[in-house]
Structure 1
Amino acid sequence: MPTPQKAAQIDALVDSFERSQLTVVANYRGLSVSQLQELRAGLRGADAEFTVAKNTLTRIASGRVGVEIPEEFLEGPTALMFAYGDVVTPAKALTDFVRSSRVLELKVGLMEGQTLTASELDALASMPPREELLGKLVGMLASPMSRVVGVLSGPSRSLAHVLNARAAQLGEDTAAAAD
């Protein structure tokens, strides 16, 4: 039977696993307290959190929500990053921190039942943010419609040019006849 403090930690982890769109398991050995605070502050602005958890409590919490974390990744000092909204921004913040600190080691990522390697997390971090992708999609959807409008208005524009040219020609003929 877990102590009330451990039960509260398990409940908090269960809540985080349930709300999370992306979970990253990392080895935080060698991180200073100031580096850890810097990382947490950077992730907080990206709707994510970075928490240190005991492997046993992580196993219990992930088991309760049906999240499969391979056993080999729950060895040694373990920290978890939970991204609650857009997954790209927190992944980018985390991978940038890994590059700059050279201490934090990403073990595995979990997203929609899939396990992601460190290189796949890098690829995820290099994607444009969700808002930019939506903007590109809207642009691609609007492009064919504007082309259709251009094609449909083309014949009427051509007819207007022909009529203007004919009117100009008739005007020249009338002026020549008057001379």
Structure 2
Amino acid sequence: MPSQKVLEAKKQVVADLTDRIKNSVAGVIVDYHGISVADDTKLRKELREAGVHYTVIKNTLIKFAADNAGLSGLDDVLNGTTAIATSETDYVAAARILAKYADSHEKFAIKSGYLDGEVISLDKINSLAKLPSREVLLANVLGAFNAPIASFARAVQAIVDKDGEPAEAVEAPAEA
């Protein structure tokens, strides 16, 4: 039977992981079996740069934390070698990075994930992974907003260039 000190340490790990899951917008659970230390280091660096917290934790501790956070449905995937990646702000970063990594490493696999406190299917995780980053999406939206204004400015400039001189201001007739 584990000592009281060990039990307290495990309770603290579960409490910390519960808070991390509750405060995150998205998370992905993976099977990291068979990856090298060098590959793992590269993966962790990429996740860290994207603001994703990645941790290898025992399955039973993830189960307790997930249950405490209200995520049911993860019990089936909590076996073997398991790691969890969570993001507090970016919905797609963890899914995008881990799916790209899983494509290039045959033993590395995505097991499950969650989004806004609900367990999602592997299809949804793969769909999230295909989305561009937040910055790219914002640039596309801003480009769409900017396009009509830029077209109008080019049309006005073409009129000015065609006539050679700026158009004279037309005064409205004075009202009596």
Q: Common fold, TM-score beyond 0.5? A: yes
Report which of the two structures shows the higher radius of gyration computed on alpha carbons. Answer: 1
What SS does structure 2 have at the residue aligned with 1:3? Answer: helix
Matched, 1:88 2:92: yes
* 2:90 is aligned with 1:66: no
Q: Does 1:139 align with 2:143?
A: yes
Shift in alpha-carbon separation, 1:9–1:56, aligned structure 2, 3 A: same
1:8-49 deviations in whole A, cap 9, x for unaligned?
211221122022221111122223333322221221111012
Which of residues 39, 42, 46 is equivalent to 1:35?
Answer: 39
Which residues of 2 match residues 96-175 of structure 1 at below 5 A? 96-143=100-147
SS at match of 2:126: helix
Q: Residue 53 of structure 2 is aligned with which of 49, 52, 67?
A: 49
TM-score, normalised via structure 1 length = 0.72
Q: TM-score, normalised by structure 2?
A: 0.73
Q: Which runs of 5+ in 1 are unaligned?
A: 162-179
Does the aligned pair in 1 maintain the 2:113–2:122 contact within 8 Å?
A: yes
Structure 2 residues not aligned, in runs of 5+: 164-176
Runs of 4+ in 1 over 6 A off after TM superposition: 146-151
Paired amino acid for 1:77: T
Q: Which has the higher helix share?
A: 1
Residue pair 2:77, 2:111 contacting (<8 A) in 1 also: yes
Query: Amino acid of the residue matched to residue 26 of structure 2?
Result: L
Cross-structure match for 1:171: none
State the identity as a percent: 28
Q: Write the distance in 1 (CA, Å) between the matches of 2:96 and 2:116.
A: 18
Alpha carbons of 1:144 and 1:68: their partners in 2 closer, same or farther (altered >3 Å)?
farther
Q: How many residues align?
A: 159
Deviations along 1:37-77, whole A, 9 cap, x unmatched? Answer: 22212211110122111222112112222223432112232
